[in-house]
Structure 1
Amino acid sequence: MSLFGRYLTLWVSLCIFAGIGLGHLMPGVFHAIGSAEIARVNIPIAVLIWLMIIPMLLRVDFAALRQVGRFWRGISVTLFINWVVKPFSMALLGWLFIGWLFRPYLPDAQIDSYIAGLIILAAAPCTAMVFVWSNLTRGEPNFTLSQVALNDAIMIVAFAPVIGLLLGLSSITVPWDTLVISVILYIVVPVIVAQILRRRILDGKGEGALNDVLKIIQPYSLLALLATLVLLFGFQGEQIIAQPLIIALLAVPILIQVYFNSGLAYLLNRVSGEQHCVAGPSALIGAGNFFELAVAAAISLFGFTSGAALATVVGVLIEVPVMLSVVWIVNRSKDWYERGPAVSGKLKPESVSR
């Protein structure tokens, strides 16, 4: 993991303070940035988000979809978690904690927006960071690549309907035109651009050149993320200063959701007899979020100053330490996992005893 990735929580925390401070010192600058819109799309933020998303998608090879059948158990479990359990469980957790238990401690006008942000976060399966998590669990790289490629392909057609359905169930008005524009702008177009760039690099200089390009542009992708966070907290500063517990309260359903979904994916893989090197990344893909896309969609749908934008940013804040804890659990429980009846029957005796 790169220096930026390893200390992402620290950088995000610094961005919170920097954004709040700059928002108070230079409110005119932030309002000018916020007003630079075309068809409800903020141009500076759109540029930053493209810088975030396209490098992530350069890693994805859609040709890997040919390998899906090799890992059908792990693929099935992860798809079930990502597209059936995770968005709906987050909608339930959002309603339970934000809409009910924590309601007295949150600004009433933003309650629905906070819930919407949590739903958007849960509806975007992890794309880029999962390659890091998979490597840390000694995961099967071909499974990870094929699962991410499949999730990205599904996201193109399912992201908007899932969000629309769950926001409708939560009695939140869905701006369908903005949602469709967001999907096109932040999923469809970046996927096309990334695949064209990927093909040109591979055809010209091969896999090594692609890895070199990724190493060069990855820091800029994370810098774009951090710059976006500074802007967001520049607009959110007054809310946070008035009620500093907001971030902690929003983190509660996100934490529960991560551990619930990763644990469920891990157990379902064990019951199905999938090997541990697939179950590990499956659990992490099931728990992780494509927070760059979630931030972009929340801003497009509800604006800079919305509770939805803030809720997705909390997901960024806790991403690294929480996912590293899941990696630790997966690695430490390997012996227990391989003692499962469905798994041990498929392993050679020497691999079980190791």
Structure 2
Amino acid sequence: MSSPLGVFERGLSLWVALAMGAGVLLGSYLPDLFAGVAALEWAHVNLVVALLIWLMIYPMMVQIEFSAIKAVGRRPKGLLLTLVVNWLVKPFTMALLGWLFFRYLFAPWVDAQSAEQYIAGMILLGVAPCTAMVFVWSQLTRGDPNYTLVQVAINDLIMVVAFAPIAGLLLGVTDLQVPWQTLLLSTLLYVVLPLVAGILTRRHLLARGGTAAVAHWVARLKPWSMVGLLATVMLLFGFQAGVILDNPLAIALIAVPLIIQSYGIFALAYGAARWLRLPHPIAAPACLIGTSNFFELAVAVAISLFGLHSGAALATVVGVLVEVPVMLSLVALANRTRHWFPPQQES
């Protein structure tokens, strides 16, 4: 279906750039307003941002077909790719890049204590695979909603048992406490509630008008999903406007290895997906899950371990700032290279 939204989506990177600029500008001139919105959080999850992300996720959840989820077990390659990248590769490459840049390449500009803190923040990002925004990236690449749901759910289950040991190993911390409230609340807000709402909505629409009614409803929701994305970007940059303007050099230095990590992990996963001959609706979300981060969890752990104003917390915040523009560029790349992959066969 052709609509003005198609034009909007093609220029999404421009709109995101404008939202980033608007966030920094408004955050600078209206700091009290953004501080008030930032204070609306529970277990380090901002409730306003959670609502906006929920708005982005819900349209994809409406497309979930439970009858098709069982087919994921017959196509395990995409799931295995995501798990290998997330848990056997990404945390260790992130630690290696942090060590390389802040112990050696950036050593003339960063003192030793700050360098250790930045490395710690990067490690926490690397050990926290994304939960919420994956659904958005999957939707933008026309990913398989059923497969994406299973990938996210299994990653969340593994995160419960693997996050603390891997982060503790790489940080050299023997008694790392996982902020269970953040992990559980995020899973509830970003997976369980929108999934239940999607199931109920789909059941109602199918009863009233069949699959055509579902498609029409999803098309109507899509513009609001994009509005949610832009509003989220504006808020995130508005929250951190002071940090961005006060520490531009530190932010730029931290961003370099984070960006290299993102593109490098995506290239590795995308190449493996092509070698495995995964269909694009499975390959694209699988690779994007491995590239993006669960920044709420990383920020919460950084604050609890090192303090609110620590270099580790700053590094996790920079991860938040670079993620959306980087991920949008990877979404665009995935969409342009759709022809590299075989078509998806019906289950």
Answer whether TM exceeds 0.5 for this pair: yes
**Residue of 223, 226, 251 corresponding to 2:227:** 223
Displacement of 1:18: 1.6
Displacement of 1:250: 4.2
Q: Which amino acid aligns with 2:180?
A: V
Partner of 2:317: 309
- Check 1:199–1:325 CA distance in 2 against 1; reply closer, same or farther (3 A cut): closer
Cα-Cα RMSD: 3.8
Q: Which amino acid aligns with 2:195?
A: Q
Assess if the C-alpha contact under 8 Å between 1:258 and 1:288 holds in 2: no
Assess if the C-alpha contact under 8 Å between 2:34 and 2:238 holds in 1: yes
- Check 1:313–1:172 CA distance in 2 against 1; reply closer, same or farther (3 A cut): farther
Q: Which moved more, 1:286-295 or 1:63-72?
A: 286-295
- Cα deviation digits, residues 325-349 of structure 1 (max 9, x gap): 3554563x56xx9xxxxxxxxxxxx
- Structure 1 position 48 matched with structure 2 position 56: no
For 1:1-354, what aligned pairs fall within 5 Å after superposition?
Answer: 2-38=6-42, 40-98=44-102, 100-102=104-106, 104-105=108-109, 108=114, 111-112=118-119, 114-116=121-123, 118-119=125-126, 122-124=129-131, 126-133=134-141, 135=142, 144-171=144-171, 176=177, 179-206=179-206, 207-246=211-250, 248-269=252-273, 274-275=276-277, 278=278, 280-289=280-289, 294-298=294-298, 300-301=300-301, 306-307=313-314, 308-328=316-336, 331=339
Displacement of 1:80: 2.3
Structure 2 unmatched runs, 5+: 343-347
Q: Return the alpha-carbon distance in structure 2 between the equivalents of residues 252 and 72 of structure 1.
A: 34
- Check 1:310–1:2 CA distance in 2 against 1; reply closer, same or farther (3 A cut): farther
- Check 1:44–1:231 CA distance in 2 against 1; reply closer, same or farther (3 A cut): same
Assess if the C-alpha contact under 8 Å between 1:19 and 1:231 holds in 2: yes
Assess if the C-alpha contact under 8 Å between 1:127 and 1:289 holds in 2: no
- Check 1:204–1:312 CA distance in 2 against 1; reply closer, same or farther (3 A cut): same
- Check 1:211–1:169 CA distance in 2 against 1; reply closer, same or farther (3 A cut): farther
- Check 1:290–1:45 CA distance in 2 against 1; reply closer, same or farther (3 A cut): farther
Q: Return the alpha-carbon distance in structure 2 between the equivalents of residues 15 and 221 of structure 1.
A: 15
- Check 1:61–1:203 CA distance in 2 against 1; reply closer, same or farther (3 A cut): closer
- Cα deviation digits, residues 17-36 of structure 1 (max 9, x gap): 22222222122222222333
Q: Which amino acid aligns with 1:180?
A: W
What number of residue pairs does the alignment pair up?
A: 321
- Check 1:183–1:53 CA distance in 2 against 1; reply closer, same or farther (3 A cut): farther
Normalized against structure 1, the TM-score is what? 0.72
Q: Which runs of 4+ in 1 moved over 6 A?
A: 172-175, 290-293
Q: Return the alpha-carbon distance in structure 1 between the equivalents of residues 292 and 266 of structure 2.
A: 20
Displacement of 1:83: 3.7
Q: Which moved more, 1:290-299 or 1:200-209?
A: 290-299
- Check 1:328–1:41 CA distance in 2 against 1; reply closer, same or farther (3 A cut): closer
